[in-house]
Structure 1
Amino acid sequence: MVSMMWVPAAVLLVGGLAVACASAGGDVTGRRGPEAAAPGGHGASEVSEASEAGWRSESFRDMVVEVPASWEPAPAPGSDWCAAVEGRRQAFPVTPYVDSGGPYRAAMMIGCPGGGEGPDLHGGGVPREYWSPHVWFAPTPAAGGAEEVPDGRVSAYGWTRLVRSVGSAKVFVLTDEAHLDDAERIMASARRVTVDDHGCAASSPIQAGGFVRPGVPFDVARLDVVDTIAVCHYDLSSPVGSPGLLASRELGGAEAAALLAAIRAAPAGGGPDTPGTCATNMWGGTAIVLRLTVGGSTREAYVYFDWCFGNGIDDGTTLRALTTGNCAPLWSGRITRSAGSAAPFQVCHPDSRRR
C-alpha cells in the first residue's frame, strides 16, 4: 500500500520516501579575488585563492566565482512562480542574490502563465516584475543533451544576461543597469579549480555511491576540538573523477564546536531509517563530505541523508545517527535539499514538523 501526504519544501511522501514534484534542473586551501582571473582561462588551478574584502566565493562543480558579499543566497523564481506570488512583489528577492535552488530544485507541477513578450532572459516564463539581479549555475550540457545557452550577453528591456562556461559548469548573471559592473566582475572572476577555498575537491570518492565509507577512517569520538568544519555537498550522479561538487560552506568557532559535539553525542548505528520503503539497489541523489580541520590536519566524514536506509554520519569507524543537532546545521546558503526519505528529512529539517 502506498501512502501520500504533502510536507514542506514541495516534497511528496510516497511510502516514506520524499520525492520532488518535479526536478528542474589535501588539507591546503587558498582563495582568490574577483579581478585576479583572466577572462578566458580554462586551465584548472590546484586551489582557489583568497576573496578580497566585500566579496566571497561560490563553488559549483569545478568552477569558482566571486560574488559581492551582500548578494546573499535565496531561491530564484522558477516555473511554478505563480504559486508563490499571491499578489506580493516580496514573494521573491528584491535585492541582488545568488540562487540557492540548485540543479535539483523542487517545483510544483502547475501551469503558470507566460511572462509576456520575449526575450525571457531569466527563463521559466517569470514576468519581469519578479526579476532581481542574481547569479545561478548549471552543468555544461553533455554532447547530445539539452540545447546549450550560448556564452556571451543578451540585453533587452533594461536587463542583461551574461553567460560563461568554465570547465564543466556554466555561470549566469541576470542584471539591471545599476549592477552591470558587479555582474561583469563576477563573470571575469570565474575560474576552474580542483579544490575550492573551503578545501572541497571538485570530485570526491563519495560520488561512487553505494554508501561508500571514507577512505581514511578515524574516530570522531577522539577528536576533542576542531578549528573549522567544511561542508561539501556532492551530486552522486556524477561519476568519481568527474566534477560533482554542488556547493560548499565553512563553519568555525562556536558553530564548528557545537556541530562536533553533536556528532560525537549521536548514537552509533546510523539512521533514522525506514528500510523496505524504497529500492534496495539505490542510494539517493546527493551526499555531504565534512572536512574537520584542527591544527593543520584534516579528517573527512561522510553524511548520508537521502534514502530510507544507510543514513548517518560515517567517520570510517562508526556510523552515527543523524540528529537535529548534527544535521540541521548543515543546511544553509546554497547547500539545500528538496527531496529525500521522510524520516531523515524531518530530523534534519525540524521546522517541517511544525508546519
Structure 2
Amino acid sequence: MKTWSRVTVAAVAAAAALFVVFAAVGQQPPDASPEEAPPPAAGWRWESYGGVDVQVPDEWGHGTTGTPPCLPSIEPDTPYVGRPGAVESIGCMGPSVPELADRSAYLWFDSSAKPGVHTHDGGWVEETRLVAGVPLTVFSDDATERTRILNSARRAATDGEAGCPTEHPVLTGPDARPTPAPGGLPEAGEVRSATLCRYALTDVLRPRTSPVLSRTVLSADEARAVVAAVTAAPQGEGPNQPESCIPEVAYGDEVLLLLVRDSARTHEVFVRYSGCDGHGMDDGTTHRRLTPDALTLLLSGSHRPTALNGIVADVLREAGR
C-alpha cells in the first residue's frame, strides 16, 4: 500500500509539473477542454484557426503564412495575421527574414518553424509555440506584445455563441442544406448576433487539427448588416461557371457557415463561393445569388478566401475589392 501511495503521489506531482510547464509557455495541456473565448481586451481581437484562438491588436491586418523573406512587398506594410495559402515557390538567398526596412510584425498560424526562439538583428525575435497541435509563430521587435499574443493562445470552443462546430452538415457535400426555419431568415432588426465560420472542404487547406480556417463573432449591428445584405440578394443560384473546371474540384476548397441568432433560435446560412459551380447563399428555405454587398461583408478580414474562381472574383470586383 505504501508503494502504491508513493507512485500515486509521484504521478500527481508529475502531472502538476506538466501543467506548470504548459502554463509557463502560454500553452494549454494537450487534453485541456476548449472553453468559449472571453471578450478580447480593449484594442485587441480574437483570431481563430485550426482549433486555436489567439488575441492580436485590432490594427493588425491579414496575410499569408510562409511568405518568402525576399518577397515582403506582397504582404501588408503593417503587422498582420497569416494563414496558410498560396505563396510564391521561390528560393531566397541570404537572411531568413526580410531586410530591416521591409519588416512587419506577424502572427503565422501553422508555420513550418519548430518551437523555440530565434533572435535576429535590430532587436527582432521569432518565437514559435505549439498550441493544441498548431504551430504559432510571432515575429516582432516588441517583446511585451509578442509574449502577450502567445500567452493568449487557447483551444477554440466548438459550441456556444463563439464556437464553430468541427462536424457539421455544411462539410458533407454540395447537396447539404440547412434545417429550414419557419419563414426563413428573420428580419434584420430582430437579429441579436451572428457568427461566421469558414471551413476547409479538402485536405489541400484543412489544418491538421480542425477544419475551421477562421471564425468571427459579429456584434448586433454587424450581424444585422450581414443579414440585410443576404436577404436583399435575388433568389436563385450562382454565378456559376461549371465549364471552367473539372467536376472533382467544382465545389471548391472552402465554405462559409453563417449562424444568425434572434430571440427564438439560431438560423443557418450555407455560403458556397470557392469553386466554379454550386455558388450561392442557402438558408434552408431560400437559395440566393452571391452579390457584391453580401460578399464584401462575408469574405473580408480573416475570412478572405484562399483562392476564387474568376466569376466570383468578378462579383467582388464590382464592390471595389
Query: What's 2:291 paired with?
Result: 323
Query: What's 1:258 paired with?
Result: 225
Whether the 8 Å contact between 1:61 and 1:202 is mirrored in structure 2 is no
Q: Which has the higher contact order (CA 8 A, sep 6+)?
A: 1
- Output the TM-score relative to the length of structure 2: 0.78
- Percent identical among aligned pairs is 25
Query: What's 1:183 paired with?
Result: 146
Match among 67, 77, 83 for residue 93 of structure 1:
77
Rate the CA distance shift 1:80–1:268 in 2: closer, same or farther, 3 A: farther
Structure 1 position 229, deviation (Å) = 2.5
Q: Do structure 1's residue 269 and structure 2's residue 253 form an aligned pair?
A: no
Query: What's 1:11 paired with?
Result: none
Query: What's 2:38 paired with?
Result: 49
Output the amino acid matched with 1:280: P
Whether the 8 Å contact between 2:178 and 2:269 is mirrored in structure 1 is no
Select the structure of larger CA radius of gyration.
2
Structure 1 position 323, deviation (Å) = 0.9
Query: What's 1:150 paired with?
Result: 114
Rate the CA distance shift 1:335–1:36 in 2: closer, same or farther, 3 A: farther
> Which structure has more helix as a fraction of its residues?
2
> Which structure has more strand as a fraction of its residues?
1
Whether the 8 Å contact between 2:50 and 2:208 is mirrored in structure 1 is no
Equivalenced residues, count? 291
Q: Do structure 1's residue 62 and structure 2's residue 51 form an aligned pair?
A: yes
Structure 1 position 220, deviation (Å) = 6.5
Q: Within 2, Cα distance between the matches of 1:317 and 1:107?
A: 39
Whether the 8 Å contact between 2:68 and 2:92 is mirrored in structure 1 is no
Structure 1 position 351, deviation (Å) = 4.9
Query: What's 2:176 paired with?
Result: 213
Q: Do structure 1's residue 162 and structure 2's residue 124 form an aligned pair?
A: no
Q: Within 2, Cα distance between the matches of 1:80 and 1:351?
A: 32
Query: What's 1:103 paired with?
Result: 84
Query: What's 1:314 paired with?
Result: 282
Query: What's 2:164 paired with?
Result: 201
Unaligned 5+ runs, structure 2: 1-22
* Aligned pairs for 1:229-308 within 5 A: 229-237=194-202, 243-282=210-249, 283-295=251-263, 297-308=265-276
Structure 1 position 272, deviation (Å) = 0.6
Whether the 8 Å contact between 1:66 and 1:186 is mirrored in structure 2 is yes
Q: Within 2, Cα distance between the matches of 1:204 and 1:171?
A: 24
Query: What's 1:350 paired with?
Result: 318
Match among 73, 94, 100 for residue 61 of structure 2:
73
CA-atom RMSD, angstroms? 3.2
Aligned with 1:57: secondary structure? strand
Whether the 8 Å contact between 2:181 and 2:284 is mirrored in structure 1 is yes
Whether the 8 Å contact between 2:192 and 2:261 is mirrored in structure 1 is yes
Whether the 8 Å contact between 1:61 and 1:244 is mirrored in structure 2 is yes
Rate the CA distance shift 1:39–1:241 in 2: closer, same or farther, 3 A: closer
Query: What's 1:144 paired with?
Result: none
